[in-house]
Structure 1
Amino acid sequence: MIQKQTSMVFSPYMAIYDVVVPKDNMLRKINELIDFSFVLEELRDNYCLHNGRNAVDPIRMFKYLLLKTIHDLSDVDIVERSRYDMSFKYFLGMAPEDPVIDPSSLTKFRKLRLKDINLLDMLIHKTVEIAIEKEIIKNKTIIVDATHTKARYNHKTPKEILMDQSKGLRKVIYSIDEEMKNKFPSKTTTDVLQDEITYCQKLIEVVETEERITQYPKVKEQLNLLKETVSDDIEQLRISKDQDAKIGHKSADSSFFGYKTHIAMSEERIITAATITTGEKTDGKELKALIEKSTAAGMVIETVIGDTAYSEKGNIEYSEENNIKLVAKLNPSVTQGFRKKEEEFQFNKDAGMYVCKAGHLAIRKARQGKKDVATNQTDTYYFDIEKCKICPLKEGCYKEGAKSKTYSVSIKSNEHTEQATFQESEYFKEKSKERYKIEAKNSELKHRHGYDVAKSSGLLGMELQGAMAIFTVNLKRILKLMA
C-alpha cells in the first residue's frame, strides 16, 4: 500500500547535497522545474491505500525509470549507480545513507503499477503545460514526422538472441583475459532453447565468481544485460518473436521489424503529441490524431509542416475544415483523390510503393494511359504473386489461379489545385525549411536515449518506452531554453 501523504526525509546528512550536487546539475534543475506529485495522483488507483506492506514511493519509482531513460542503462546498473551517486540520491528524494531498491522492483512497477495508464499523453501534456507556462512555446506551428524502432525480439529465434548476448559477454572478457576460455562451460550443440538458457545461467555463475573480471564496467554492463534477458524475459523468449511488431519499409530496398512513433513538435523543438503504432502503418493517417492531441495539450495550431506522406486528400480536407495551413508537398502517388480499397492498400512514401493489409510491399509499378493527361492515367502496382498464394489474408484479395496481383490508382491532380498553388507561395517555401528540426529530434531520441531498439516486447512496452523518452527530451529542451 502507499501512504496517503509522502513522508519528508529527515537525516543529519542532508546538507551534503548542498556541497556535492551543484546548482547547475541537470537533475537538481529537473527537481526544481517540475512537481512530480502528479505521478502519485495518476497511479493512486493502482495501489491499495489500506492493506499490505508499505510500497516504495511511486514518485521515486517513476524517477528511477526517468534516470534509466536519461542514461540508457539496465535496471541493475541504474540501481547500482544510485547506491553511490549523490546526484541520483538527491533526485530520488533519498537521504545519503538510505538503501536502494531491489532492481526487480522496477519490473513489477512497470507491469503492475503503470498498467491502464495513458502515460504517453500524460507526460507529454505535462511538459507542454510547463513550456507554455514558462512562455517557451510562442509559435502556432507544429512539425510532424515518424521514426521507426526495431523490435527487441527480431526475426531471430530465441536461441539466437541468447547466443548473441552470451557472445558479447565472452568477447569483452576475452579482451581482458583470454585464459577465461578454459573456465567457461561448453557451448550447446543442440537447437533446444532450454539448453541455451542453461548454458547462459552457467556462464553467468562462472563470471560472477571472478571478482577481478566483474570490476570492469564493460563486463558488468554485458553481464547485466544477459542476466536481465534470462531472468525477466525468459517467458518472452519461449514465445519467440515480438507478437505485436510488424514489418515496415524505410525505402524500396530496406525494411525493419518493429514499431513507428509518429511525432508532432513545436518550432521550439518541444514534442507536443505522439502516437505509437506497429511498423507497417502509414505516416499520413496519424496527422489528425497528432493535431488533436497537440490541441488537447494546450497548443494553438495555425500551420502544420510535414513531408509528402501528409499531403493525401483527407489531410488536405481536414486542414481546410480547421483553418490550418498544411505545408506538405503534393505527391501524385499519395494524393489520389477517390480510389478503391483505400483501407486495404496504403502508400509507403519511403519506398514509393503501396503496401497491402498483410504488410507486403509492391515489387514494381507501371504508368498506363495517355502521357501528360493526368486524369486519364493510372499507376499500376504489382505484388509478388508467390507471397499472395500463401498469404493468410488472401480471401477476397487474391483469386486462386491468377498469374498476377495488381493494384491500380487513378491520378487526379486537378482535385489539388489549391494546394498546388499554395505550394508555390513564399510562406510555404519558408515554412518548409523548418522541417529539418524534427529529424534532429528523432536522432536525439535514438542515439542518446536508446530509442533505436525496443527495450521490451509488445505495443504497451513500446508506449512506455516512448513516454519516458519523450518526457526526457522535452525536459532537457525546456531547461536548455530557460537557460
Structure 2
Amino acid sequence: MISNQESLNFSPYLAIFDLVVPEDNMLRQINKLVDFSFILEELKTKYCLDNGRNAVSPIRMFKYLLLKSIYDLSDVDVVERSKYDMSFKYFLDMAPEDSVIDPSSLTKFRKLRLQDVGLLDMLIGKTVEIAIKKEIIKNKTIIVDATHTKARYNQKSPREFLQEKSKNVRKAVYQFDESMKEKFPSKTTSNEVTDELNYCRQIISVVESEPKIAATPAVKEKLNVLKEVVEDYTEQLAFSTDPDARVGHKTADSSFFGYKTHIAMSDERIITAAVVTTGEKSDGKYLQELIKKSQATGMEINTIIGDTAYSEKNNICYTKEHQLTLVSRLHPLITYGRRTKEDEFNFNKDAGMYVCKAGHMAIRKKYEERKNQDKNPRIKYLFDIKKCAVCPFREGCYKEGAKSKSYSVTIKSTEHTGQEAFQNTEAFKDLAKTRYKIEAKNSELKHRHGYDVASSTGLFGMEIQGATAIFAVNLKRIIKLLSEKK
C-alpha cells in the first residue's frame, strides 16, 4: 500500500545534511531541479492505495535505480553505500538514522512496478520538458545514432559464464592473500550447470567466512557480481544466453551479442528520444520513430544529422515530405531503392554487408552487370550455407539441399540525385561536422554509466537500464548548462 500524500520527516538530525551535503553537490542539485512526484502519479495503479502493509515509496525506489545508473553500482552496492553516504540519504529523502531497503526489493520493483509504464519515453520526456522550460534547448537540430550494449549473459554456455565469474573472485582474493588457495574447493570436472553452481556457492561461502578479505573493495565488488549471477541462474537454469539478445555487427570482422539503443540528441547534447531494440536491427529503420518521439516531447525540429545509415530512400522521402533537412551522406550500397524482403534483410553500414533476421552476416558479395537482360545491375550477397542449413528461421528462406543462399539488391542510384547534390554543398559539410557530439554521448553512457554491458536479461530489463541511464546523463547535462549560464 502507498499513501497519496508524502510523509513528512521530523528527524532531529536533518541539520547534518546542511553540514555534509554542500549546495553544489550533484544529488542536491538534482533534487532541486526535478519534482519527482511524477513517478508517484505514474505508478499509482501498480499499488493498492487503501489496503495492505505500507510499501517503500516508489519515488525512493526509483531514486535507488537512478543512483545505480549515476554511479554504475550493483543493487547490493547501491544499498550498502546508502547506509553511510549522507548525500545518498539526502537524495533518497531519508533521515540520517533511517534504515535502508533490502537489495532484493529493487529486483521486485523493476519486475512488478515498472512493467507497461513506458519508463523510457516518460523519463526522456521529463528531462526535455525541464530543458525547454529552462531555455536550454534553443536549436532545432537533432543528431541521431545507435550504440550497442553487450548482453549480460553472452554466447558462452552457463557453465563457462559461471566459471569466468568465480575465477574473477579467486583472482581478486589471491591479490590480497595467496594462502586462500588452500581453502577453496577443488574445481568441478563435471559439465553440469548445477555442479558449477554448487562450486560457486562454495566459493562465496569460503570468501564470506573471511570477513577482512570479503570487505576488501576489490574482492567485494567481484563477490557481489558472482552472487547476483548465481541467484539469476538458480531462478532460471534453462537459459544459456539472454533470450532476447541478438548478434549485431560493428564491422565486417567484429560482432557483439546484445542490444542496440537508437538515440536522438539535441545540439545542446540533451537526449530527446531513444528506442531500445535487439542487436541485429538496422539503424536507419528507426529514424522516423526518433523524429516523432522527439517532437512529442515538445521539441521543434528542422534538421536531422546522422551517418550514412540514415540515408535510406524512405528516410529521404519522409524528411522531404515533412520539410525537414536530412544531413546524411549517401552510401552506394544502402540507397538502391525498392528491394524484396526489406523486413528480413538489413544493411550494416560498417561492414558493407547485409544481415539476415537471424543475425548472420553475408560472407561475400559480387557485382552483376546483367546488360544482356536489359535490367539494372545488382549486387548479390552470399551467406554461409552451413549456418543457413541449421538456422531456426530457415523455413521460407533456405531451400533444403541448396548449394548456396544469396540476397540480391538492384542498383538504382539515380533516385538519390537530390540528396547527392545537397551533400556536396558547404552547408551540408558544416552541419555534418557536429555529428561527433553524439559519439561522445554514447561514450559517456558506456564508460561512466555502465551502458556497455546489460545489467539484467531481456529487452524489458534493457529498456529500464536505458531509461535510468539516459535520465541520469540528461540531468547531469542540464545542471552543467545551467551552471554555465550563471
The amino acid that maps onto 1:12 is: P
1:295 is matched with which residue?
A: 295
Paired AA for residue 124 in structure 2: I
Q: Quote the residue 2:402 is aligned against.
A: 402
- How far apart in 1 are the matches of 2:458 and 2:394? 26
Give 2:96's aligned residue.
96
Counterpart CA distance in 2 for 1:375 and 1:350 is 28
CA displacement, residues 183-235 of structure 1 (integer Å, 9 cap, x when unaligned): 12222111111111111112211211211212211111111111122224422
Structure 1 partner of 2:471: 471
Matched, 1:121 2:121: yes
Q: What aligned pairs does 1:226-375 form with structure 2 within 5 A after superposition? A: 226-369=226-369
Counterpart secondary structure, 1:130:
helix
So what's the TM-score if we normalise by structure 1? 0.97
1:375/1:413 contact within 8 Å kept: no
Tell me the equivalent position of 2:151.
151
- Deviation of 1:303 after TM superposition, in Å, equals 0.4
- Secondary structure at the counterpart of residue 335 of structure 2: coil
Aligned equivalents of 2:237, 2:30: Cα separation in 1: 37
Identity of aligned residues (%): 70
- The one-letter code of the counterpart of 2:454 is A
**Mapped contact 1:158–1:238 kept (Cα < 8 A):** no
- Name the SS of the counterpart of 2:416 in structure 1: helix
Are the equivalent residues in 2 in contact too, given 1:141–1:305 (CA < 8 A)? Answer: yes
Match of 1:69 in 2: 69
Aligned length in residues: 481
Amino acid at match of 2:328: A
Cα distance in 2 between the residues matched to 1:444 and 1:236: 32
Partners in 1 of 2:284 and 2:354 — Cα distance?
A: 13
Distance 2:164 2:106 in 1: 25
Give 1:462's aligned residue: 462
- 1:284-315, CA deviations, whole angstroms, 9 ceiling, x for partnerless residues? 00001000000001111100000111000000
Partner of 1:205: 205
> In the alignment, is residue 190 of structure 1 matched against residue 190 of structure 2?
yes
CA contact (8 A) 1:375 1:412 kept: no
* Alpha carbons of structure 1 residues 394 and 203: separation in structure 2 relative to 1, 3 Å: closer
TM superposition shift of 1:334:
0.5
Report the TM-score, using the length of structure 2 for normalisation.
0.97
Q: Which residue of 2 aligns with 1:133?
A: 133
Aligned to 2:179, the other structure's residue is in SS state helix
SS of residue paired to 1:117? coil
Secondary structure at the counterpart of residue 30 of structure 1: helix
* 8 Å CA contact retained: 1:124, 1:272: yes
* Corresponding residue number in structure 2 for 1:442: 442
Q: Report the counterpart of residue 35 of structure 1 in structure 2.
A: 35
Matches within 5 A, 1:383-394: 383-394=383-394
- In 2 relative to 1, CA 398–194 (structure 1 residues): closer, same or farther, beyond 3 Å? closer
Does the CA contact (< 8 Å) of 1:339 and 1:410 recur in 2?
A: yes
Deviation track 1:325-363 (CA, whole Å, cap 9, x = no partner) reads 000001121111122222222111111001122222111
Structure 2 residue 480 is the aligned partner of structure 1 residue 480 = yes
Q: Give the aligned CA root-mean-square deviation in angstroms.
A: 1.4
Aligned CA distance change for structure 1 residues 101 and 406 (closer, same or farther; 3 Å): same
Query: What's the secondary structure of 1:400's corresponding residue?
Result: coil
Q: Which runs of 5+ in 1 are unaligned?
A: none
Give 3-state SS (helix, strand or coil) of 1:259's partner. strand
- Show CA shifts across 1:409-439 (max 9, x none): 1211111111111111221111000100000
Structure 2 Cα separation of the partners of residues 329 and 163 of structure 1: 46
**Residue-by-residue CA offset, 1:354-374 (whole Å, 9 max, x unaligned):** 112222211111112189xx9
